[in-house]
Structure formats: structure tokens, C-alpha cells
């Protein structure tokens, strides 16, 4: 391995920003000249464009992805006395969004191969109080739309998608945001479609729900100084909307770049299955938009996940863990009553998963450097194990 090679960051936004810098500058200047910094023209334009791209009728911009979940569920009528099913293997924003409605979150385990919600486990968790399911389209891959709709129809459940990591992802001919009654998106800067700060959106099919959302995000005001709902201040900034509107036409191309990067990783990592390293499975084909590229470092590997991550860091390769502790074991949510062992697949995954560098502009050479480094570290560890066995014998 060449120690002189440059650092490979976990995320690098410079490629996409440099390619459209003049367009971004112009969009920002237009907002500054108009001075409509709150709920301005760019917000309305982006809401319409993004909703259309998702296959939804309406989009309502909010301050962040967490608000998109909370306000979206609230606008759909979810509240105190309702149970909402969601996966234990997700970012805490999903759980916080449900809790903010006053509903009772019911966590279920995940599929160990895809890391997505286990819909069979979800079905077993349904009670007469269950009103909704929040499938999390984790890492950029959709939960099966057909299976979700079967579950929804059978048990009369609302489907509200957490699509924070799945901008324009597809599966079974459906696009994220078009499967259920609504969907929440995040525009955090590192997302496939990212702002220059926080931002979020709810996309819905129903006009009445959209109107309710517009009220809830703006102090509960259906019109200025007339408050019909107990709302909050959660508005997508006009500057952020202008930036996102500028980026949106490039998103399909950027997602394609991510998919090709993932294919290259898949090919290069295949021999490492002999050493207990496996990519999270893709069941969506080219519809997977790979917000993250995640591998599992299983107990068959001669080196543990933490050691591998440290070795990569020493070789100037940055990685991440999404997520190191499942929701039910987070100290903040002890009151939910879940204990260690409640969701074994989620708990095992949190010890195995490692997110590798993934972003448009990541070069073949950089991908090869990442995998070559993993290979060298793992094979060296395997050689040591075999050497130790020989010494003992």
C-alpha cells in the first residue's frame, strides 16, 4: 500500500458543487435581490418540482427531516392513543418524529441482509391500536412497495415513508414518496440532494393534508394571523429551496454515479466474502440510490469492525457507522421498555456495519484504494491467526 496517497474523505461535496457553482451563485443572488427569505418564490417552485419528481401531488417544505416526520404524521391524523410501527434499526429522528405526535412507537427488528424493516415482524406487532407503519428506506433502498401495500390493505394501516436517505429511489416501479399517504425527506447537506444547512419536505397525495401541513409548519396559521392549528415554526428557508431547486435537475445523474460506484465496490469486494465481509444486499437493482455504501464485518472475519475502521483511518480512509446503537438501546428511550436482546438482528448489525466512502466524483482509483486497503488489513490479520494456530499446535 502506498502511504503517500491522499486522504479519501467519507463525504466530499466539492465535485457536485464545483460543477454548478455559477448556477448556485445566481440562485442565491436572485433570492437576495427579491428579499423573500421566508416562504418565498423558490420554496413554492421547489415544492412543486420535488413532489412531481417523487410522483406525489403536493410538497410542503419544512425546517428538517425530523419535522417532516412529526408534522407529516400529525397532518395525517396520527396522535395520542395510536400505535405506529417502525424499525429499531434507524436514525433516532424517525423515533423522535413519532413520539412528537403523542403516538406510541412500536419497534420491530430488521432483515439482517438488507437492514430494512422486517415486515413479517411488523405484521406480528400489529394490534387494534395500530394506525400506521413508518418504513425507513435505509441507505437509499426502498422497502418493498408491494409488501407494504399488502400489509396496509390487510390491516387498514397508513403508510408514511421515512425517505430521508432515498431521494428518487425506486423499487417495483414505484418511487420513494409515492407509496403511501405521505413521505418525509431530509435535505441535510450530505444527503443525495442536500442543502447548505438543514431542510426537509413532506410529499403527499391529498390536498387537504397538504393544506394542514402548510398551516402546521407556520404557527398553525391557515392565513396570516389566523391560527386554526396548534402549529410550530418549521419552514424551509427560501435560500435553501433555491439551492435545492438548482441541484434537483442533476440528482438523477448523481444517483447514477452512486450506483456505478456501488457496482465497482461490489465487484472488488466479492473475494472478501471468504473473509466474512459482505455488502448489505441490494434488492432494488438500479433503483437503489446508495446514500450510503455499507458492508458487514461479520464474526467470520479475522478482524473486528472497530479494528478495521481504525486501520483504514491510519491509511487516511474515512468511514462511518450507521448506526452504532439501535434506537431501543439509546438511553433517552428507556421509558419505551425495550431491553437488550429485544431485536437481535438490529443489535448484531450495529456491531458489524461499516459505511465506506460514497459520493458522486469518487474515482475508480479511490475505490480500488479503499478495497485494496481492506484486503491487505484482513489478509494480514488472517495470516496472523493462522500463524498463531501453528504456534499453538
Q: Tell me the pLDDT tens digit for each residue of 231-267.
A: 999 999 999 999 999 999 999 999 999 999 999 999 9
Task: State how many domains the chain has.
Answer: 2
Task: Based on the residue annotation, tell me whether 191 is a catalytic residue of this protein.
Answer: yes
Residue 106 has pLDDT above 50, yes or no: yes
Q: What is the pLDDT of residue 1?
A: 42
Task: Over range 205-213, report the average pLDDT.
Answer: 98
Regarding whether 255 and 231 lie in a shared domain, the answer is no
Work out whether the CA dihedral 366, 367, 368, 373 comes out positive or negative: positive
Q: What is the pLDDT of residue 385?
A: 76
Regarding whether 349 and 274 lie in a shared domain, the answer is yes
Residue 202 has pLDDT above 80, yes or no: yes
Regarding whether 58 and 111 lie in a shared domain, the answer is yes
Q: Among 212, 232, 249, identify where a domain stops.
A: 249
Residue 4 has pLDDT above 60, yes or no: no
360 Cβ neighbours under 8 A, 6+ residues apart = 15, 16, 253, 254, 257, 258
Give the residue ranges of DSSP H helices in 203-354: 207-216, 238-247, 251-269, 305-314, 344-352
**pLDDT band per the 50, 70, 90 thresholds, residue 393:** low
- Domain range for 316: 251-392
Task: Indicate the pTM of the whole model.
Answer: 0.96
Residue 171 has pLDDT above 80, yes or no: yes
Q: What is the pLDDT of residue 2?
A: 44
Residue 2 falls inside a structural domain: no
Average pLDDT taken over every residue of the chain = 96
Residue 283 falls inside a structural domain: yes
Which one is catalytic: 129, 191, 224, 247? 191
Task: Over range 139-160, report the average pLDDT.
Answer: 98
Amino acid at each position: 500500500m502506498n502511504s503517500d496517497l491522499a486522504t479519501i474523505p467519507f463525504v466530499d461535496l466539492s465535485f457536485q458543487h464545483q460543477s454548478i457553482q455559477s448556477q448556485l451563485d445566481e440562485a442565491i443572488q436572485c433570492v437576495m435581490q427579491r428579499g423573500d427569505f421566508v416562504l418565498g418564490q423558490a420554496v413554492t417552485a421547489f415544492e412543486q418540482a420535488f413532489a412531481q419528481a417523487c410522483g406525489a401531488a403536493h410538497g410542503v417544505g419544512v425546517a428538517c427531516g425530523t419535522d417532516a416526520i412529526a408534522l407529516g404524521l400529525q397532518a395525517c391524523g396520527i396522535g395520542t392513543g395510536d400505535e405506529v410501527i417502525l424499525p429499531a434499526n434507524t436514525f433516532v429522528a424517525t423515533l423522535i418524529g413519532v413520539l412528537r405526535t403523542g403516538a406510541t412507537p412500536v419497534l420491530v427488528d430488521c432483515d439482517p441482509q438488507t437492514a430494512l424493516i422486517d415486515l413479517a415482524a411488523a405484521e406480528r406487532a400489529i394490534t387494534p391500536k395500530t394506525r400506521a407503519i413508518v418504513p425507513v428506506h435505509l441507505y437509499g433502498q426502498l422497502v418493498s412497495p408491494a409488501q407494504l401495500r399488502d400489509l396496509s390493505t390487510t390491516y387498514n394501516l397508513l403508510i408514511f415513508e421515512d425517505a430521508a436517505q432515498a431521494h428518487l429511489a425506486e423499487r417495483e416501479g414505484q418511487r420513494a414518496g409515492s407509496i403511501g399517504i405521505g413521505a418525509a425527506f431530509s435535505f441535510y447537506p450530505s444527503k443525495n440532494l442536500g442543502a447548505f444547512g438543514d431542510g426537509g419536505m413532506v410529499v403527499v397525495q391529498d390536498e387537504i393534508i397538504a393544506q394542514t401541513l402548510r398551516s402546521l409548519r407556520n404557527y398553525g396559521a391557515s392565513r396570516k394571523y389566523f391560527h386554526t392549528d396548534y402549529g410550530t415554526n418549521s419552514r424551509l428557508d427560501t435560500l435553501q429551496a433555491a439551492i435545492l431547486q438548482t441541484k434537483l435537475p442533476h440528482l438523477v445523474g448523481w444517483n447514477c454515479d452512486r450506483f456505478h460506484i456501488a457496482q465497482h465496490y461490489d465487484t472488488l469486494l466479492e473475494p472478501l466474502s471468504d473473509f466474512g465481509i459482505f455488502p448489505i444486499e441490494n434488492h432494488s437493482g438500479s433503483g437503489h440510490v446508495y446514500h450510503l455504501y455499507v458492508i458487514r464485518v461479520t464474526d467470520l472475519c479475522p478482524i473486528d469492525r472497530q479494528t478495521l475502521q481504525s486501520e483504514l483511518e491510519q491509511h487516511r480512509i474515512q468511514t462511518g457507522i450507521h448506526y452504532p446503537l439501535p434506537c431501543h438501546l439509546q438511553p433517552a428511550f428507556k421509558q419505551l421498555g425495550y431491553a437488550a436482546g429485544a431485536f437481535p438482528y438490529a443489535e448484531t448489525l450495529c456491531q458489524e456495519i461499516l459505511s465506506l466512502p460514497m459520493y458522486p466524483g469518487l474515482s475508480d482509483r479511490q475505490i480500488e484504494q479503499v478495497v485494496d486497503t481492506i484486503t491487505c488489513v484482513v489478509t494480514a490479520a488472517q495470516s496472523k491467526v493462522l500463524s498463531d494456530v501453528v504456534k499453538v499446535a
